[in-house]
Chain A
Amino acid sequence: MQEIHHLNSLAIDNFRAFRSLRIEGLANVNLIVGSNNLGKTSLLEALNLYCSRGNRYAITDLLMGREEYSFKRMRARPGRSLRDVRLAYESLFYGRRPLEDYPRLQIGPLGGDLPALSVAFTWLQQISEEANDGVRLRIVKASPDEGVLDIVPGLEISFGDDQLLLPLDRLDSDASLRSRFAREPDVPVVYLSSEGLGREEIGRLWDTIALTEDEGLVTNALKAISPSIEKIVLVQNPAARGTRTLMAKLEQFNEPVPFKSLGAGIEHLLAVSLTLLRARGGVLLIDEVENGIHYSVQPSLWNMIFKQAATWDIQVYATTHSWDCVEGFQIAASSQAEAQGSLFRLERFGADIRAIRFVPREIEVARRESIEVR
């Protein structure tokens, strides 16, 4: 049985580069490969939108071209002009269709036993209504042909029976905050962008786990890769007031050393393990998971991901360009008790994009027989 935070299939229609993409055989851990511009990141965006149940912040972030919607969802947003918004808005729909075509995108699992998310362009108008507690403002759909003056372009977002009308000129306002679309999703949906986490973000996340049981979990995950790490602490930077530095206590030294001196790879691993923790019971999306990680560490990275995904009931989706990363994925996946990994290659198929699936055993055969699956 599929659940919203644990899909085994996905259908995407009219979203960004995808006119009609069908994916079956999603596993606990999914790795997505393919040439540039085939929509690997778009696929993660679609999953993010769907698993967030069309959450208005997830949509706003997409429309405004922001990629940092990982942990900052609830923070204040700077204003933008409608013109900027409309540009990003058009790229939301396949083929950059103009508003006049009333484009509609849809994302959901195959089979129809779960609701789909649909986002369509519409015209909106604000009307005032008598209510028990006085006059209330309400947003309704309008037609541009009826000579109404103050209509604005907007989106009609629906997820199952729930519907939200979102005027594009009011993306930053609180008008729709009472809607269920303004709530955080029931399960965490965490997106780790290709830029990784900044030091500040790592620090903030570390604060949420320091001195808890989770601290031990992250430290143990890192120990699997760098066994000499005993403890990690966040300390005030003596050189720059107001900034803090992550320090590691290593077995062989008495004094702690700066965490970053352990290499860019281990820092990325820390980011991945912190985001795994954050995604417990939910969904983790990682763009360019191989970033900064030495090929020799790839199997350890994937062992950690497979292990934590199973322990914490997380469905993971990651993208990569790197064959080393695919190999690491395969080695880790093959050592799992059950087949819990799927590799997907996005490729052109006529005017469309399609996904070709490989199970871990097939990746192993490809490696042995030198068959190119990327």
Chain B
Amino acid sequence: MIGPKRVLLVEGLDDFHVCCSLFQRHKVPELFAVEPKMGVDKLLEALPVQLKASGIERVGVVLDADLNLGARWASLRAILSSAGYAVPEFPARTGTIVDEIGKPRLGVWLMPNNQLPGALEDFAALLIPASDALAVRANSVIEEIPAGERRFAQPHRAKAYIHTWLAWQEDPGTPMGLAITKKYLDATAEGAVEFLKWINALLIEP
């Protein structure tokens, strides 16, 4: 039994499907495995073990920055530092990649773009085609909800937004991954292209 040599760890199934659809649309060679973990805690626990797996060459991690990007980065840095990686103080804008002698190449992408707080849904929102009429409408509809009727907390606004927008597509309620496959979401948007450049440098290039 030999495990994969190149692995991309993601938080859950939504992340898994979004990544896989992007890779399919961009014809990314199947040189690595994408592994959904059951949540951020499980992922962070698996990471140091994954870095010591037998025969492992490259490991990528896709995580939500969540509310506090600095705190997320700090906890990740602590884990990676005890695994023997010198991780920069701030995440690189184009995605972080660290090479250590005698260890697998390591990469980290914080959703949505290594700069802003947020999550996968914020990343998906970056793929909504520019000047999309429904995007403007979805935004204003959400803004118009009176405070007393809003059932979601402010941090989930991006979630509310992307799912509102997806509810109004040709096939209403298409999940994010499939929305990329069906081209509702634009896989060539700048946000997606940056992410794919990072994937390519981390997991594909020699």
Contact = CB atoms under 8 A, between A and B. Distances in A.
Interface stretch (B16-24, B40-48, B145-153): B40-48
Contact of A373 (B35, B42, B54): B54
Contacts of A253: none
B37 A372 contact: no
Interface residues of A, number: 16
Contact of B45 (A365, A373, A374): A365
A234 interface: no
Contacts of A366: 49, 53
Contacts of B2: 372
Given A372-B1, A372-B2, A373-B52, A349 B46 contact: no
A365 B46 contact: yes
A354 B55 CA distance: 13
A23 to B, nearest CB: 14
Contacts of A323: 1
Given A365-B46, A369-B37, A369-B42, A356 B52 contact: yes
* Dominant secondary structure of chain A at its interface with chain B: mixed
B3 interface: yes
Contact of A374 (B46, B49, B54): B54
* Dominant secondary structure of chain B at its interface with chain A: loop
B91 to A, nearest CB: 24
B102 to A, nearest CB: 6
A324 interface: no
Nearest to B48: A362
Contacts of A371: 3, 46, 49-50, 53
Contact of A372 (B45, B48, B55): B55
A313 interface: no
Given A345-B54, A347-B54, A349-B102, A373 B1 contact: no
A94 interface: no
A69 interface: no
Contacts of B35: 369
A356 B45 CA distance: 17
Contacts of A372: 1-3, 53-55
Contacts of B54: 345, 347, 372-374
Contacts of A374: 1, 54
A71 interface: no
A35 to B, nearest CB: 9
Contacts of A345: 52, 54
Nearest to B102: A349
A365 B41 CA distance: 12
A365 B52 CA distance: 12
Contacts of B46: 365, 369, 371
Interface string B1-31: 1110000000000000000000000000000
Give the most central of A358, A369, A373, A374: most B CB within 10 Å: A369
9 contacts: A345-B52, A349-B102, A365-B45, A369-B35, A369-B49, A370-B3, A371-B50, A372-B2, A373-B49
Given A345-B52, A374-B54, 11 more contacts: A347-B54, A354-B102, A362-B48, A365-B49, A369-B50, A370-B3, A371-B3, A371-B49, A372-B54, A372-B55, A373-B52
Interface of A: 323, 345, 347, 349, 354, 356, 358, 362, 365-366, 369-374
